Chains A and B, each alone.
Chain A
Amino acid sequence: MKKYIAKRLAIAVIVMLGASLLSFLLLYFAPGNPAHAILTAQLGHDPSLEEVAFFMMKHDLNNPFLVQCSQWLYMITHLNLGTSFRTGEPVLMEFLDRFPATFELAFTSMLIALLIAIPVGILSALKQNSILDHSSRLVALCGVSMPNFWLGLVLIMFFSLKLGWFPCFGYGTASHLVLPAITLGTGLAAPLMRLMRASMLEVLRQDYIRTARSKGLSEHLVMWKHGLKNALIPVITHMGMQTGHLLGGAVIVETIFAWPGVGKFLVDGIYARDYPVIQGFVLVIALFFVLSNLAVDILYTYLDPRIRYDVENKK
């Protein structure tokens, strides 16, 4: 197991470098000049040629592509993500400043999604083709079809403007968290719920469920003891991928609710061609992706004893 984790982490380094390099490549060859974009924003008017030239020189932007690449590689191998062109702050600090907010939102919305998806999914599987099942399908369909920005705005309109229960934007208290977390969580819950239902139905058709019933177990025990653990495996897989996404920041929801998270800063960085921010953020987000998938793989071994990663060491 340890060997497996070490192997996966070694692969993670390659994935991170690849993702970061790829994003740099795209930006480098995309139209638009970081000096022009950033100076316009900072000065409030079009910069002069001298100002642009000075900016390019200061940030080594005149170097050939491969030289810039190796400069970047040198930096990150020394655990330095550089400084943002826009703010002049270290990229790592910019990330760490924003990550708690992103993490809080990601964690809460995933929790909301699971709290809705798992019980409702199980119930719809148990009462297949009942009114509950049909209505949960309808709600799930609405859930996946509703765009986040729309749901977010509707929630703001209703719960903060009309009823005044929750603040409509900002960050800090628990009540600030409610609306953005619901917006994100319901969108996540819909596919998870359908997956939970399908997976449970599949499990309930298995021979071992019939065996459990033949021993006289109540439907409750059949479900919780024999069904759930088997049915959770595909749900966990999906959840792991979604968690990776969420930790990369939810740009739209962060923008609507003025949530000071990672996603919005990264997108602003992309518009401004803020190379160090883009590369640094992509690098760290890639790490979270790999880590959340690794966590899922480790979780598998607890759910299903047939899955082992250390078979070659066993004997």
Chain B
Amino acid sequence: MTLLSIENLNAHFHTEDGAVRAVNGIDLNIEEGEKLGLIGETGCGKTVLGLAILRLLSENTKIEGKILYKGKNLLTMSDNEIRKIRGKEIAMIFQNPLSSMNPVLTVGTQVAEPVELHQHLKKQDAMRRVIEMLKSVKIPLPQERVKEYPHEFSGGMRQRAMIAMGLICMPSLIIADEPTTGLDVTIQAQIVELMKEVLRDSGTSMLLITHDLAVASELCDNIAVMYPGEIVEYGSVRDLFKDPKHPYTRGFLNSLPSKGFKPITGTSPSLINLPKGCKFHPRCSLATDKCKIKRPELIKVGKKHYVRCFLYD
């Protein structure tokens, strides 16, 4: 069953330099239990997409389209209704846990908030639940550590606490925004391992936003590749790694250290000044005149494999 379905989503916001078109006509589905990876370079709008789902973008953002969660449109529901979804049905795990946790509140207080709020647990019961949760994300001595402040935690421990905070209400969907960025490589591996384990145990669906292909391939079933504001390729992890179709996806894979470390020439376009036609054409060695004028549609190239490129027309 489809848990979350994003239909023709657009998110633009106005700045002094012009309109930033961060998300342009995105369609995505997440099934129950599915782990979907959203991959792209920094500044391609993937975080904006994640924040749009829970309506956490600033008020000057113009959002169009539909985000249906269990059939209800998150974008049109009242503030009260969306607050009952946040943290309870859909939870977020942010990157950079140091700045994402309040420096003046204890870790215990912050991890307890969702259960106090949504399950109306009393302070003591909530704290018991927090300690259980911290134990399950393998934080040693949780009884002691709940009383500590975020700055007293190491980077890896903070990210574990963030994960505990996200999962404490047993949400149906977790949106994890770069959960391993900024951590040491060894810690990254531990966090990926931990997420794999807790997600397997809880059966929670996940939207993993990352620029790290290795992390996505470890944790996800399917992957959507994003290039300034659009999905350019969608498929299972296997399809994408074995048989990448879009020139950008190929370039992305070739830039991995294990595949030769070859960067894609040029830089990704600014979201204010997007090129006409296919957004990748200025950097694409296979671009034709058609690519400069017309925007390609998503084309089906396999059972569950789609690509936005005229090469497969």
Which residue numbers of A lie inside 8 Å of B, CB to CB?
206-208, 210-218, 225-226, 229-230, 303-306
Contact = CB atoms under 8 A, between A and B. Distances in A.
A167 to B, nearest CB: 45
Chain A interface, >50% SS class? helix
A216 B102 contact: no
B149 A306 contact: yes
A211 B100 contact: yes
Interface stretch (B38-46, B80-88, B197-205): B80-88
B146 to A, nearest CB: 14
Nearest to B102: A208
B92 interface: yes
A216 B92 contact: no
Interface stretch (B110-118, B134-142, B240-248): B110-118
Nearest to A219: B79
Given A216-B86, A305-B104, A211 B149 contact: no
Given A208-B102, A306-B149, 9 more contacts: A211-B102, A216-B84, A216-B85, A216-B86, A216-B87, A216-B88, A217-B87, A226-B105, A306-B151
B149 A217 contact: no
A304 B151 CA distance: 11
24 contacts: A207-B99, A208-B99, A208-B101, A208-B102, A210-B94, A210-B100, A211-B101, A212-B102, A213-B56, A214-B54, A214-B87, A214-B94, A215-B165, A217-B117, A218-B83, A225-B105, A226-B102, A226-B105, A230-B102, A230-B103, A230-B104, A303-B104, A305-B149, A306-B151
Nearest to B54: A214
Given A208-B100, A225-B105, A215 B117 contact: yes
Nearest to A230: B104
B127 interface: no
Contacts of A208: 99-103
Interface residues of B, number: 28
Contacts, number: 69
B268 interface: no
B164 interface: no
A218 B82 CA distance: 11
A213 B117 CA distance: 12
A217 B56 CA distance: 12
Contacts of A229: 104
Given A207-B94, A207-B96, A306-B151, A214 B56 contact: yes
B215 interface: no
A214 B99 CA distance: 14
A159 to B, nearest CB: 42
Nearest to A229: B104
Q: Which 3 A-B pairs have the closest CB atoms?
A: A216-B86, A215-B87, A216-B87
B99 A206 contact: yes
Contacts of A304: 103-104
Contacts of A303: 104
Given A216-B84, A216-B85, A216-B86, A211 B94 contact: yes
Interface in B11-62: 51, 54, 56
A216 B118 contact: yes
Contacts of A305: 103-104, 149, 151
Contacts of A210: 51, 56, 94, 100
A218 to B, nearest CB: 7
